[in-house]
Structure 1
């Protein structure tokens, strides 16, 4: 039985691998246009025929295909013959995303032919010039045809086929029926006609083709001969697109169709509402693109569909590109990870301890997190926040939270500084360096770091925020790079991850380092928060149902991106969205479809089958109480309810049940496969609680007795406090609910007493505050502590 399953798995793997090579090309069509603005050398204007572009384009997009545009020179192309009373033409004429494609057509040298299943030569008078004789375009068409693709042309676009040859130099369509705009229908007495380099029908005949046409004209005449699809005039556009799709779909095997159907079901919520914010998705297996598709709308107002070339901001997922740039410079011999950061950034304060490039990459620099500093300093989300602003916050800090390389902390300050390191070494911003040395070599034409919040980015999905009154635009005003602000598309992200399999930029050794764990100075201690083990690529390694996975996510405004990589199975799944939600379930469901039955553990823990012990309420009460984690500045409450032990974050209404595995070890009841353990032990007469999630580091909480201050006692903590490191003031006041604070830009932050001079705030980055007293026991200030910042001092201002 085992052997038969083994052979079946191999057989299914062979079938799966046999078709994935062609899947990517099945869903992409290349439109060929012309840059010509005048007929020949005259001043008679000509253009590309708008109807012949938009009608097929609209059909392809609705069928889930991606359309790219090229022209001999790239860039803007002239368009004409526009009928704005036609609904489809009007829709695309006022679609900024579509019109931007025509304003930024690709150059023939930008094209990777293996990605396309069809080439479509567009018509209009401009098509008679610059296309037929372009050898690169001819090579592209021949290669697409040779890889079992479709070659098509409409009206005057058939001129592009005039000289089309096979690899042996013979006609590619010898003896086949081809149509186009016949010479008979031309206005031969007009000046434009005299500029034509050839008559289309005669050129096709001269190249061995059988030119045919309808005497009637404008009757949707289309010819399909093998994998050549040609149309006589603008009326042919709809039927041509349908015939091309039929040919492309016919090449898809039943197993491929079934897999695609299964993957489509993951995104079924857009089936009946395609014009709401959505996602673009990609799935890779064994170094090949298996699935690439867009769902929903990039711009709800104009109902512009999301395609695989639509750009999204990927938030914190941008960090991997910064890390890659640094490792690339290391590989080029331009820096060493052991270099002192002051070598490149002398403005950084002298902390009496060396901070290295490695410390910045490994989140062990001891620098406070600039995002926490930003929030505490009073910056609002809508404020314009630049790279200089981020650096200034870091440069103002004169103390480290700990000696570099001795501890880890959740901080993004290192990535901001690494962007500056790139600039100092190369003379280029991170945006410019990445463009030249990473994105362009990999063909990532829709990827860029945005270091200017006012930059106009073409073909970008609008960031939406859902509210009770409907959708709102959620614009980001920051222009920082290193930690965020990378815009990319699903197609480009697939190119990026394919580089991990067969590196074209960077070496295999670099990729291995990027996906290896960071360590402290001892070279062995790793960083294992609940998200998983931190890797040099700023992603986390964490098990899913017993199978190791690398993952990361990014949330920025209404943008939400997720990536899951299963390295042992060679499966990569990602989803980019503008739909204002966490898209991890979509990405994971795609991955599960590709992985099949590889998981040794079930999707969720069956707690009814878990081996537990029985404990009396009195035994459980032994662990009841309040617990404080001084390192991460977090408080928890444990209590007995309905004869079971419960776990709760202080200030939250949510609670989790703890089931006893042994007398002092409990497992938390959760939905899913996460194994969360809570252990209790007594040390020096005090109870401690140790929390772990999967293979995470231990989070140690110590029992404490909450203190209740009287109104008179609380008044001692009120006053105005100033931080010289942030040039920021906070006023602490009290009301009937207790102590609270705010400044002019911050919402009200409530403070809950933990110990005599220690309070926990309701804001994560504000963390907890511990008051400082002089010898006379008068309060002189307080320190802010959190998991991202330590001992940020605010001095009490005397009035």
Structure 2
């Protein structure tokens, strides 16, 4: 009997001890060069692999993430951390990686589920994929999913160009959208290349001459135009924008400088268009945007009070260029910037029907399959510039040589904005200023449809980098930074992500139950004069639902007394308002680009 008790106790210790140890030190599986491995993974797990590699190699590969976001860490045979990264936060994306082997032996690869982002589409029937500068509120999740990992290559090559190519190896495929990049040092291009395809349907490769839409990287050329006009005495940056655009109904004085610094308080044009029922793949012209902007009567905040990025600012800036010079922004920039610099394939695209040779088309792969991501913009100032990596490198060189412009213009162009209280902000005239690993840097990103772009210029190092892509999952910012690391030969010690994550997952909406009788009080027809649009609220399946003639029905989730959040993300915060008798007479909508725009309850629809 005593032996039986000991045996049972021993069995208990072995079983439960093994279970505890397996959690602390999960089993390690073998990886083989060129062989893809697929697995399911759950939150709280970490998967470990080992791969035998020689010393002095540049190893590269990728992880295909499906419903889960993973951090990858790589350790040398002696336990040295070689890599720990999570570049692609989206749970449906590919995570490319590369590392240098320091010795011969078994390298440990560890994968850990971490908080990732998913565009909240499950309940959103208006599935227009917006993100980046239009600030779609991603839902943060950490859930189970599947992945596949492949270490596809390990070469001896360690030249500068080979190290750069390793960064972009994932995009160097014949059937997949890609990337074009260029690096300039002093007055010359030291490396440039294209990877992947510009047009998936026809397998047209990306080259340094491929024309990309670069979204908000366009803003710096608009800012440069107004800095030049200021220097030439045609305007003053401290003039009120109303002097040049009297159609504006905003009474508060907004200076051109505040407009360019994003401290104007003007509502974001894309948020306004979306609330009015527009899709972002609609044809959207300059005049259509201006009509919407001119109809606004209120600001998000007092001019100069704070910084808030708004694309409206730069659409109006383009209009000021037109009013002052008699030329469109496209005409002025081509004459004063692009032609003098030999940027022959660069222009503001203001006609959506115009045919452009060697153009890259836009794609999105974040929903699990590759799809077209259509863009039909015909507006300029905030966006709309078409250029190539080769052309943009000439602009980066101009930051150093100043063949176009002069020191006074560039000083004005790169001077940070100041708020009313004296606080200096990071944004200048279409450019952000900061520091990267001890190096002063000027940069800007761009996001429209599936296009991604990022530029960096290091003034003290006279180094410039441009990365352009036509696939939505491409993290051009991180890629450009990794290029900078190679250029500066920076070897930063990676920080390994802890196994036990302390991150708090924020749900799309922390909803509350609400009585049907109360819901009835919100039903009816609502009209916004500033947007010239209407919504009809009704109850369907015991849920408050809004209908619009151009949109799919939107469900509203209760967050408290008279406060809701829509399943169409532009209705981020909706607060119904009541009169003295307690009757609902309207509601206000707020999101990151619009603050309290009002809809009034009406009799008709």
TM-score, scaled to structure 2 = 0.69
Deviations 1:141-176 (A, max 9, x none): xxxxxxxxxxxxxxxxxxxxxxxxxxxxxxxxxxxx
Q: Which residue of the partner structure matches residue 259 of structure 1?
A: 160
Call closer, same or farther: CA 1:404–1:741 in 2, change over 3 Å.
same
Q: Which residue of 2 aligns with 1:553?
A: 445
- Give the length in aligned residue pairs: 448
Q: How far off its partner does 1:567 sit?
A: 4.2
Matched-pair contact (CA < 8 Å) for 1:275–1:305: no
Residues 708 and 582 (structure 1), Cα distance of their counterparts in 2 relative to 1, 3 Å cut: same
Q: Go from structure 1 to structure 2 and tell me whether the alpha carbon gap of 1:793 and 1:468 turns closer, same or farther (over 3 Å shift).
A: closer
Partner of 1:445: 344
What is the alpha-carbon distance in structure 1 between the residues aligned to residue 158 and residue 309 of structure 2?
44
Give the drift of 1:348. 1.3
Query: Deviation per CA, 1:172-203, whole angstroms, max 9, x where unpaired?
Result: xxxxxxxxxxxxxxxxxxxxxxxxxxxxxxxx
Task: State the secondary structure of the residue aligned to 1:649.
Answer: coil
Distance, in Å, in 2 between the alignment partners of 1:399 and 1:299 is: 43
User: Do structure 1's residue 344 and structure 2's residue 201 form an aligned pair?
Assistant: no
Q: 1:510 aligns with which of 388, 397, 409?
A: 409
Contact 1:765/1:788 (8 A) holds in 2: no
In structure 2, the CA distance between the partners of 1:438 and 1:778, relative to structure 1 (3 Å rule), is same
Whether 1:491 and 2:379 are equivalent positions in the alignment is no
Shift of 1:763: 3.8
In the alignment, does 2:466 pair up with 1:577?
Answer: no
2:331 is aligned to 432
Answering whether residue 603 of structure 2 is matched by residue 798 of structure 1, we say: yes
Residue 651 in structure 1 maps to residue 508 in structure 2? yes
Greater gyration radius: 1
> 1:742 and 2:599 equivalent?
no
Is structure 2 residue 443 aligned with structure 1 residue 535?
Answer: no
Residues 342, 587 of structure 1: alpha-carbon distance in 2 compared, 3 angstrom cutoff: same
The structure richer in strand per residue is 2
> CA separation in 1, counterparts of 2:358 and 2:242?
40
**Does structure 2 retain, via aligned residues, the 8 Å contact 1:545–1:603?**
no
Structure 2 vs 1, CA of residues 651 and 558 (structure 1 numbering), >3 Å: closer, same or farther? closer
Matched, 1:327 2:250: no
Residue pair 1:372, 1:765 contacting (<8 A) in 2 also: yes
Contact 1:316–1:555 (CA under 8 A) maintained in structure 2: yes
Matches within 5 A, 1:573-652: 573-584=465-476, 585-597=478-490, 602-604=493-495, 646-651=503-508
Counterpart among 377, 384, 387 of residue 283 in structure 2: 384
More displaced, 568-577 or 787-796?
568-577
Q: 1:469 and 1:714, CA in 2 relative to 1: closer, same or farther beyond 3 A?
A: closer
| RMSD (CA atoms) | 2.7
The CA distance in 1 between the partners of 2:279 and 2:539, in whole Å, is 24
Alignment check: 8 A CA contact 2:231 2:408 kept: no
Following superposition, the deviation at residue 724 of structure 1 comes to: 1.1
Between the two structures, name the one with larger relative contact order (CA 8 Å, sep ≥ 6).
2
Which residue, out of 280, 284, 291, partners 2:191?
Answer: 291
**C-alpha separation between the residues in 2 aligned to 1:419 and 1:767?**
30
Q: Which secondary structure state, in structure 1, belongs to the residue aligned with residue 251 of structure 2?
A: coil
Aligned counterpart, 1:316: 216
Aligned: 1:717 with 2:574: no
* Pair 1:737–1:593, CA change in 2 (3 A): farther
The structure where helix makes up a greater share of residues is 1
Residue 783 of structure 1 aligns to a residue whose secondary structure is strand
In structure 2, C-alpha distance between the alignment counterparts of 1:555 and 1:535, rounded to whole Å = 19
- In structure 1, distance between residues paired with 2:453 and 2:503: 33
**How far, CA to CA, are the matches of 1:735 and 1:645 in structure 2?**
39
Matched, 1:525 2:525: no
1:123-134 equivalent positions in 2, closer than 5 A? none
State whether structure 2 residue 455 is matched by structure 1 residue 563.
yes
Q: How big is the shift at 1:269?
A: 2.4
The residue that corresponds to 1:478 in the other structure is 377
Match of 2:255 in 1: 356
Distance across 2 between alignment mates of 1:265 and 1:467: 23
Does the 8 Å CA contact 2:570/2:591 hold for their aligned counterparts?
A: yes
Aligned to 2:61: none
Query: Hey, what's the Cα distance between the residues in 2 that align with 1:514 and 1:263?
Result: 31
Secondary structure in 1 matching 2:267: coil
